[in-house]
Amino acid sequence: MAPSSSSLVFVVRRKDPELVAPAKPTPHEVKQLSDIDDQDSLRFQIPVIQFYRYDSSMAGKDPVDVIRKALAKTLVFYYPFAGRLREGQSRKLMVDCTGEGVLFIEADADVTLDEFGDALQPPFPCWEELLYDVPGSAGVLNTPLLLIQVTRLKCGGFIFALRLNHTMSDAAGLVQFMTAVGEVAKGASQPSTLPVWRRELLNARVPPRVTCTHREYEEVPDNKGTIIPLDDMAHRSFFFGPTEVAAIRRLLPSHQRQCSNFEILTACLWRCRTIALQPDNDEEFRIICIVNSRAKFNPPLPQGYYGNAFAFPVAVTTAGKLRENHLGYALELVRKAKADVTEEYMHSVADLMVTKDRPHFTVVRSYLVSDVTRAGFGEVDFGWGKAVYGGPAKGGVGAIPGVASFYIPFKNAKGEEGLVIPLCLPSDAMERFVKELDKLLLINNNDHLKPKLGFIVSAL
């Protein structure tokens, strides 16, 4: 049995952070972000991590050197990433394309990829060592827009960790950039998909007119202190393979069994999580589903667009109704919320941002889920093949830990393809969540459950 990665401890030796600037002179200009990009909900840094095995065909090549050089060349095309964010009137964000560069850290760790065990899933051991938070770099304004650390492993493999200022790109946009770095690393003279800025496509109309209902941005008072406590938080990841999804599907009436895995899992997690938090019956709970809107536009957004192009549609109900009703009730709410997102809806959100001072989505009693299975993190190849694990580095990122979960593609030790979903909850609520899920999956023997769902525990 490979050791559990949660107990793994290793030493990382880092060189001083450096700035990697574009390899050639780039335009000095100011570019505005879209009115979707600069909402409060996206003004944070999001971490991503990729693990790569040693590849004998790359013997003698240094991943740090290869990636650093490819990064400089790629920034010639993606030069806004080498600039700095400024804030103008009415909190409007813009990129000052200064060409200063992105932060880059070279590192070595005294550990092999195999020592991480089968559990290459969030939360990762020694995470703060694998993506060092350079002092003064985490702000949204006037700081580097990307921080990248490449850590060589003893086995010849390496870890590529990245932190992105989320106002610049969503998962699809970030993967497009990382793919470009990979293509250039493998010898391409330019990325196969050239970047398209065109952020004005997602700007508010003149005059702005909010035409849709946006309960995701309601101001909700936190009367009962249900915003999750930041101390004593537990992080765990749950694996859902074909067996687990089928078990949940069997609980549904026949007309709902055709629903997507995303919809079914979202309904299940929302219900279990709400029950685990033990709220009063009359408290309103929200599920926010990230929906990529790229294909909803007519014509679609141009290929190569790397800005944020998603919405935060929400379903709202009371804790009592979630508890008392069958799982199908939550599922119907999730499906309706997802269906809300249209081209008109996106324009309406942009208009709301301009009229309401770019608000944050409602955090009080909200749970947000984002499916990154199609984003393609695992496909990013710098010359050493596809990532063994690629995707978000943890759940609960953003302004308030505990609010968000990502659905990440994952293959477990038995070779089953499925999803790994990191969750962040107060420790006592996490115990209740596990029991609730256990009950749902009808696996009553806890010893049987642990390898099945593949938990990793780590206190924050």
Known catalytic residues are 166, 381
* Residue 278 exposed, middle or buried by CB count within 10 Å (0-12, 13-18, 19+): exposed
Q: Quickly list DSSP for 133-152.
A: --TT---SSSSBSEEEEEEE
Buried b (16+ CB within 10 A) or exposed e, 402-440: bbbbbbbbbbbeeeeebbbbbbbbbeebbebbbebbbeb
Closest CA to 340 of 378, 291, 396, 395: 291
| Host H or E run for residue 91 | none
Q: Is-contact 371 407, C-beta < 8 A?
A: yes
- CA 421, 422, 428, 431 dihedral sign is positive
Distance (Å) of CA 435 to CA 122, 233, 275: 21, 17, 10
Q: Quickly list DSSP for 172-234.
A: HHHHHHHHHHHHHHTT-SS-SS--B--GGGGSPPSS----S--GGG-----TT--SPPSSSEE
3-state secondary structure (DSSP) of residue 371: strand
